[in-house]
Amino acid sequence: MKPVMIMSEPQNSFVAVCFLVLGLFQSCTNTLGIREKGISTRNDPTENRASQVDVDITAKVMPGRESDWVMRKALSKRDVYVKAFHFLTSEVGWAISNRSIFKTINGGKTWEMTKLNFINSSEIKSLHFLDDYNGWLLLQDGGDDYSKLSKVSVFRTTDGGAQWSLEHVEDSSVINEAFFDVTQTWLIGMKFVRDYPRTLAPLIIRHLNGTHKWEDVTARSNGVSKLIEKPSQLASDHNGCLLLADKVGTIVKSCDSGNSWERLTSTDNFPADSSYRVLSIEATNDFIWTLESAGGMGGLNSVLTIIPYASQHNRVTVSLPRLYLRSGIAISDSEFYLVGKGSESDDGTMQLGTILQTVDGGKTWRHIFSTISQISVAQFFLLTSQIWLLTTDGELIALEQAPGTILERD
């Protein structure tokens, strides 16, 4: 499973509430007509989607016990304004600002700083390390307005971040998402074609790690440019196949390193809304999960869509009103986390940053922590009962379980 990092300006990175596994899905179809206060789901049980059946179920969101967690500011804005971060383990990680990169080997208690002189005013889109030595840094120049001035630069380090070399430049392009594994690196986004009439084209770049070749596979990937209009999010499933999501909900899959693609879902069930966008995509053994927003990036009305691998037509959608969501992280078919900027209470006031957890496939949810400043990036380290967060204020925060407490797990 890849770490998810959703940034306040879309790698990027990194939101909110309800999952259903196969058993829950079956129980829903056996209890049609039940309507209770909570989060409603809409289920389409037919293979051809000829009819739709609305099913409402109870989705309890319980308050968390804040005393179970200890919050520690690893790097605060008084020290440095963090733009991106990545951890290999709960002990080894990196954080980066516009002028420096910081490395820790003791869970953020102390940091070693290295000055960087090549970032300047560039936007940091992604920071990722494959191991203690090899890492990638993506910079965006010219903003996200998809013009001929837009440019993406890819830098590489082989010594843990002390020195960086320029590996690739993609002119007239904006990268929406970067995906890394031990063998390949993928960049997806849009490429500027011309001003009059204004024309943009989808962009999918593949790099084989260990080589210096960066290849645009968009045009020759079995018509993927006809299947995907605006590439937005990228993930891999348990078989190593790539899952690529369009901004407006189409999902395609490739199991041969992007040489050919097949459509898994279309936009039939998604709203024709200019503010609608896919925020994240995750995959577990039996399901594909997509988190969507109907109010732009981290908008107020979010939808979680659960798509069974066995039958992509039998999707379940979960409405998430009044929640500003940014990212979803799947651990298993029943354990899922949602991270958001916060939620709107009954009196219209905003709650602070929120982390929600379910361990029963979405039947019940619990606030893990809800008194953080607004979250822009989230990365989870659950094996060590530790959560790392980057806030929109540029603060890197570690949440650690208090002594004697046990994190409920699937």
The SS3 call for residue 366 is strand
With respect to CATH, is domain 22-401 assigned 3.10.20.30? no
Going from the C-alpha of 286 to that of each of 72, 181, 306, 309, 404, the distances in angstroms are 36, 21, 10, 5, 34
Give the lowest-confidence range in 173-177, 196-200, 329-333, 404-408: 404-408
Going from the C-alpha of 131 to that of each of 13, 95, 207, 335, 362, the distances in angstroms are 20, 15, 17, 27, 34
Higher pLDDT, 268 or 25: 268
* Token reading at 255: 């199991």
Give 239's pLDDT tier (boundaries 50, 70, 90).
confident
What tens digit of pLDDT does each residue of 41-62 get? 333 333 333 333 333 333 556 6
Is the per-residue pLDDT at 298 higher than 70? Answer: no
**Domain spans of the chain?**
22-401
Give the contacts of 71 (CB within 8 A, at least 6 positions apart).
369, 372, 397, 398, 399
Identify the DSSP state of 25: H
Measure CA 62 to chain center.
24
Give 342's pLDDT tier (boundaries 50, 70, 90).
low
**pLDDT over 70 for what percent of the chain?**
69
Q: Average of pLDDT values for 326-353? A: 75
Q: Do the beta carbons of residue 109 and residue 94 sit within 8 Å?
A: no
Residue type, 142: G
Going from the C-alpha of 253 to that of each of 36, 237, 357, the distances in angstroms are 37, 9, 28
What tens digit of pLDDT does each residue of 129-138 get? 999 999 999 9
Q: Provide the edge-to-edge strand list for the sheet that holds 100-104.
A: 84-87, 93-96, 100-104, 112-115
Give the contacts of 234 (CB within 8 A, at least 6 positions apart).
177, 178, 179, 186, 188, 242, 243, 244, 245, 281
Q: What is the mean pLDDT of the chain?
A: 75
Cis, bond preceding 197 (omega within 30 deg of 0) = yes
265 phi, psi to nearest 5 deg = -140, 160
Angle, vertex CA 35, rays to CA 268 and CA 273, nearest 5: 30
Give the lowest-confidence range in 194-198, 289-293, 294-298: 294-298
Complete DSSP assignment for 223-292 = THHHH-SSEEEEEE-TTS-EEEEETTS-EEEESSTTSS-EEEE-STTS---TT-EEEEEEE-SSEEEEEE
Q: Do the beta carbons of residue 285 and residue 264 sit within 8 Å?
A: no
Q: Average of pLDDT values for 395-410? A: 76
Q: Average of pLDDT values for 231-253? A: 87
**pLDDT at site 67:** 66
Q: Which residues pair with 170 in a beta bridge?
A: 152
Query: Nearest-CA neighbor of 382 among 109, 69, 130?
Result: 69
Q: Provide the edge-to-edge strand list for the sheet that holds 242-246.
A: 231-236, 242-246, 251-254, 262-265
Is the per-residue pLDDT at 122 higher than 80? Answer: yes
Is the per-residue pLDDT at 325 higher than 80? Answer: no
The SS3 call for residue 67 is helix
Q: pTM of the full predicted structure?
A: 0.78
**pLDDT at site 246:** 86
Q: Provide the edge-to-edge strand list for the sheet that holds 323-330.
A: 60-62, 364-372, 353-358, 336-343, 323-330
Going from the C-alpha of 377 to that of each of 65, 83, 99, 254, 381, the distances in angstroms are 22, 10, 20, 27, 14
243 phi, psi to nearest 5 deg = -120, 120
Q: Do the beta carbons of residue 15 and residue 325 sit within 8 Å?
A: yes
